[in-house]
Structure 1
Amino acid sequence: MELNVYLAGEIHSNWREELKDKAKSLQLPVHFFGPMENHDRSDFIGEEILGKQPNAIFKDEAASNINNLRTELLLKKSDLVIALFGEKYKQWNTAMDASAAINQNKPLILIRPEELHHPLKELSSKANVTVETVNQAIKVLSYIFEEK
Structure 2
Amino acid sequence: MDVELTVYLAGEIHTDWRDRIADGVDEHDLPVDLTGPVTDHAASDDCGSTILGAEDRPFWKDHKGAKLNAIRTRTLIGEADLVVVRFGGEYRQWNAAFDAGYAAALGTPYIVVHGAEHAHALKEVDAQALAVCETPEQVVAILRYVTRGELSRPSPSLSVVR
Class of the TM-score when normalised by the shorter of the 2 chains: over 0.9
1:116 positional shift: 0.8
1:8 to 7, 10, 19: 10
Q: Is the CA contact 2:4–2:147 (under 8 Å) kept in the aligned structure 1?
A: no
Matches of residues 1-148 of structure 1 in structure 2 within 5 Å?
Answer: 1-147=3-149
Q: Distance in 1 between matches of 2:117 and 2:58?
A: 34
1:112 positional shift: 1.3
Question: What percent identity do the matched residue pairs reach?
Answer: 39
Q: Distance in 2 between matches of 1:59 and 1:93?
A: 17
Aligned amino acid, residue 119 of structure 1: A
Name the Cα RMSD after superposition.
1.2
Give the unaligned 5+ runs of structure 2: 151-162
Give the secondary structure class of the aligned counterpart of 1:31. strand
Superposed CA deviations along residues 57-115 of structure 1, whole A, max 9, x for unmatched, are 11110101111111000101101000111211211111111111111111101111111
Give the secondary structure class of the aligned counterpart of 1:36. coil
Provide the aligned length of Structure 1 versus Structure 2.
148
1:146 positional shift: 2.6
TM-score calculated relative to the size of structure 2: 0.87
Give the secondary structure class of the aligned counterpart of 1:145. helix
Give the unaligned 5+ runs of structure 1: none
Aligned amino acid, residue 105 of structure 1: G
TM-score calculated relative to the size of structure 1: 0.95
Q: Distance in 2 between matches of 1:128 and 1:32?
A: 18
Superposed CA deviations along residues 27-81 of structure 1, whole A, max 9, x for unmatched, are 1011111111011111111111111123111111010111111100010110100
